[in-house]
């Protein structure tokens, strides 16, 4: 319970920080791109690059649209007519694209989201929307994993939540150590997914991962 409270507190604190950020104008954003092009050693005024600042600004609007959405809104409409269903609800292999907050390099992977409902469920497309909102921000995989789980737990208040994220980080595959075949795996287990090994194992087995531990890496 303490872990859930702390996660929800961090979630609210981060949302408060985001709303206080002063967003520059489109012209200022495009000027920043021109500066980076010059710093890289090229001329932003040449034919092939003259339109690049505007294209980069539009790309950023798409890549980071999650800053302007409240993920909780997608979870507010729920359904109680589930014919007494009281087992795990699981959505596997939700593909996502994000960017690391350290290098703004792509993070590409998939998310598995499961929860044990407390009489009410949410439309499955809303779980995809939840992942999209958090992934379309500058991220650290561990943080994104915890944020998805905490949001689902705070809004639906289920018996338990399990989130597993598997992703490749281009900040490690295209620079630095240059290890292209490495996948990072993170997990966040809340409620019965954390306290009951049988529930956790059922969830991990359903997504074809081994586990008995409630740690951050279900592969160990």
Catalytic residues: 100-103, 141, 169, 171
Phi, psi of 94 (to 5 degrees): -80, 110
Long-range CB pairs of 124-132 (<8 Å, 24+ gap) are 124/89, 124/91, 126/74, 126/75, 126/77, 127/91, 127/94, 127/152, 128/91, 128/94, 129/71, 129/74, 130/71, 130/74, 130/75, 131/94, 131/96, 132/66, 132/96
> Residues for the chain: how many in total?
220
The pair of structure tokens assigned to 199 is 């529930």
The pairing of beta strand 121-122 with beta strand 89-100: unpaired
Residue 191: which H helix or E strand, with range?
strand 184-191
Q: Evaluate whether 66 touches 137 at the Cβ level (below 8 Å).
A: yes
CA distance 202 to 141: 23
CA distance 130 to 67: 12
CA distance 168 to 173: 8
């Amino acid at each position: 319970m303490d872990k859930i409270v702390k996660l929800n507190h961090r979630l609210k604190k981060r949302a408060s920080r985001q709303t206080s950020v002063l967003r520059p104008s489109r012209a200022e954003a495009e000027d920043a791109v021109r500066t980076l092009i010059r710093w890289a050693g090229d001329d932003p005024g040449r034919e092939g690059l003259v339109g690049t600042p505007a294209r980069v600004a539009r790309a950023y609007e798409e890549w980071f649209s999650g800053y302007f959405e409240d993920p909780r809104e997608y979870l507010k409409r729920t359904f109680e007519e589930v014919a007494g269903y009281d087992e795990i609800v699981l959505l596997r292999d939700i593909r996502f694209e994000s960017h690391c907050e350290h290098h703004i390099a792509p993070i590409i992977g998939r998310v598995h989201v499961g929860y044990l409902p407390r009489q009410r469920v949410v439309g499955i497309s809303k779980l995809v929307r939840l992942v999209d909102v958090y992934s379309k921000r500058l991220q650290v995989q561990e943080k994104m994993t915890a944020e998805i789980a905490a949001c689902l737990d705070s809004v639906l208040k289920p018996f338990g939540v399990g989130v597993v994220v598997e992703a490749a980080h281009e900040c490690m595959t295209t620079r630095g150590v240059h290890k292209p075949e490495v996948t990072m795996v993170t997990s966040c287990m809340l409620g019965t997914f954390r306290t009951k090994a049988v529930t956790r194992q059922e969830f991990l087995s359903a997504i074809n991962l081994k586990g008995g531990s409630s740690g951050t890496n279900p592969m160990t």
